[in-house]
A = this chain, B = another copy of it.
């Protein structure tokens, strides 16, 4: 028998959330000796930038979501768990799941993302669903398609008009993209499908409380986007936030607008990670992290992506977009690796803004990479190529490219399915609404 030196206990890294940030951390550390456990309450990673395309019948759910477990299948040291985290015991250093399991960590990464939020108006949710999960997207898809069906059956012209009115609240990229795609759907995809109504008469109305749409872009890009939306037939209202949402429409700027379909794209609320840590948070619930992305008082806990807020040098805060989450995921992975190699120096995160992109319907987009700004059809192509490039997995790139090509040539959208609920029942219920 030989005497062996006792093995160094393996470092346990627990990552909560399989979004862009969490996956990037796993990816960077996949070949180290660290025992990584990734926990998510969903079995799939979601390519959120294209979620609005599921909501508007352009893409199928499986084209923008992949089982996390499958994405990580080759990393034999990485364990994937389907589970909902309910709290963090920072003293015992464990993550506690909904079914009471306590998972121990040496280092913890909270990358749990955000939900849409109504800021004190949670009662608006039934009337104005938001768009963050696959189920949100199929719900919105069902509502949009069902509204056209109900309009076709509605004998009263006034109420028929309400079914054919679509209100999108919020003029950020999601709101602009949803509004543009609904306009395309009404004027192009559904053309000729109905006998009583003309889908092209549908009104698509975008309401933004601030002075312009796409406020992350320069003013001329915002102006172009507004113009491009109007060319698609979208009415854009600026400067007055919505003050009321109900079953029959919205109120804003002192006026009342009757509409059966309302979509919420106006705000997000971070997951409750700040509460788990009892950490300071901003208005949207994001943990106010240190410059190195650790939680205050907890150097062993990193918070990244939409769950955290951190200053972007002198230029406001780091934006809540996929590239920022990915950069943070890599940054903390490097920090963890450096620490395990004995380098305990704090490593402040620096954000590099690559650019902003947003599409308006299927022919126009705005892109702003700082050194170059593009708008119109060229920008749309650039947007499309960038998104196909970033889609995970060759298979999905092919499938999405095929879907887009098909829609571009024929205008037909294949994913126009009303699912989950009894579609007719919903029409029935809604057409009885007084």
Which residues of A approach B to under 8 Å, CB–CB? 40-44, 60-63, 65-67, 69-70, 73-74, 76, 78-84, 97-99, 101, 134-135, 138, 145-146, 149, 152-153, 192-196, 393, 395-396, 398-399, 402, 406, 410, 412, 414-420, 422-425, 427-428, 431-432
Contacts and interface: CB of A to CB of B under 8 A. Distances in A.
B84 A422 contact: yes
Count of identical protomers in the assembly: 2
Contacts of A101: 153
Nearest to A72: B193
A428 B98 contact: yes
Contacts of A193: 67, 69-70, 73, 80
Contacts of A138: 419
6 contacts: A40-B424, A43-B417, A66-B414, A67-B416, A69-B194, A82-B418
Describe A's contact surface by its main secondary structure. Answer: mixed
A79 B195 contact: yes
Contact of A145 (B43, B60, B432): B43
Nearest to A431: B99
Contacts of A419: 61, 134-135, 138
A168 to B, nearest CB: 22
A76 B192 CA distance: 8
B98 A416 contact: no
Contacts of A63: 60
B427 A82 contact: yes
B406 A98 contact: no
A208 to B, nearest CB: 31
Nearest to A68: B193
Contacts of A422: 41, 84
Contacts of A65: 417
B420 A420 contact: yes
Given A395-B410, A399-B399, 7 more contacts: A43-B146, A62-B415, A66-B416, A73-B192, A84-B422, A135-B420, A420-B420
Contacts of A146: 43, 82
B153 A83 contact: yes
B395 A44 contact: no
Contact of A414 (B395, B406, B414): B395
A84 B428 contact: yes
A128 B135 CA distance: 24
A6 to B, nearest CB: 24
Contacts of A431: 99
A42 B192 CA distance: 19
Closest 3 CB pairs of A and B: A41-B424, A82-B149, A62-B415
Given A67-B193, A82-B149, A424-B98, A43 B418 contact: yes
A61 B60 CA distance: 8
A43 B423 contact: yes
A362 to B, nearest CB: 16
A63 B63 CA distance: 11
Contact of A432 (B80, B99, B398, B415): B99
Contact of A82 (B69, B153, B398): B153
A336 to B, nearest CB: 20
Contact of A81 (B135, B152, B416): B152
Given A192-B73, A406-B395, A44 B428 contact: no
A30 to B, nearest CB: 14
A315 B353 CA distance: 73
Contact of A425 (B84, B145, B424): B84
A83 B152 CA distance: 11
A412 B70 contact: yes
A127 B73 CA distance: 31
A62 B417 contact: yes
Contacts of A78: 195
A96 to B, nearest CB: 12
